[in-house]
């Protein structure tokens, strides 16, 4: 299990950096972007082990956005540089795929089930972003 978690964290790090490259993040920020995505995935794994997927998405998003805002002040770049690439590992892409697939094959019950889970995960991500963005920016500046 530990080897699996380490592999997932390494994959999250590399995927976040790849996503940063795709969105033309400055090269100096790649490692910090990867660190943000990895921290988010670590929180996701830890919370999901004990609680639901929805709560894990919320907790991971709060950590990602908090780190993104903190790193943005430290590195003097917009927080979106770290936040958008850092959230990439927890976006429920497979849930969206399964929902559309179930709709296409006509399995309404499975589509509703996977669609509801996906909607809850997306809502948790949005709520996590909002919860951290209500913290004034000067608070983050005072930490550095």
CA of 44: how far to CAs of 15, 29, 140, in Å?
A: 15, 23, 23
Residue 1: what pLDDT? 76
What is the rounded distance in angstroms from the CA atom of residue 114 to the CA atom of residue 80? 29
Residue 140: what pLDDT? 77
| Closest residue by Cα to residue 97 from 115, 70, 76 | 115
**Tokens found for residue 13:** 């790090």
**Sequence-separated (6 or more) residues with CB below 8 Å from residue 94:** none
Mean pLDDT of the chain: 94
**pLDDT at position 30 over 70:** yes
What is the rounded distance in angstroms from the CA atom of residue 113 to the CA atom of residue 110? 5
pLDDT (mean) for 9-34: 95
Residue 144: what pLDDT? 64
Place of tokens 């795929």: 97
Q: pLDDT (tens digit, 9 = 90+) per residue, 59-69?
A: 999 999 999 99
CA of 69: how far to CAs of 36, 47, 49, 62, 143, in Å?
A: 11, 22, 27, 11, 11
**Side-chain half-sphere of 1: how many Cα atoms within 13 Å?**
3
Q: pTM of the prediction?
A: 0.90
**pLDDT at position 106 over 90:** yes
pLDDT (mean) for 85-102: 94
Residue 20: what pLDDT? 94
Residue 62: what pLDDT? 97
């Amino acid at each position: 299990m530990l080897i699996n978690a380490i592999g997932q964290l390494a994959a999250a790090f590399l995927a976040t950096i790849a996503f940063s490259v795709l969105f033309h993040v400055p090269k100096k920020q790649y490692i910090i972007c990867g660190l943000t995505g990895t921290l988010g995935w670590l929180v996701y794994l830890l919370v999901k082990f004990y609680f639901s997927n929805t709560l894990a998405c919320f907790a991971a998003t709060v950590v990602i956005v908090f780190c993104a805002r903190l790193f943005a002040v430290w590195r003097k770049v917009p927080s979106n540089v770290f936040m958008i690439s850092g959230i990439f590992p927890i976006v429920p892409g497979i849930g969206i795929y399964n929902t559309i697939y179930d709709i296409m094959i006509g399995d309404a019950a499975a589509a509703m089930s996977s669609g509801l889970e996906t909607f809850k995960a997306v809502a948790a991500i949005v709520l996590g972003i909002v919860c951290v963005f209500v913290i004034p920016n000067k608070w983050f500046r005072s930490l550095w």
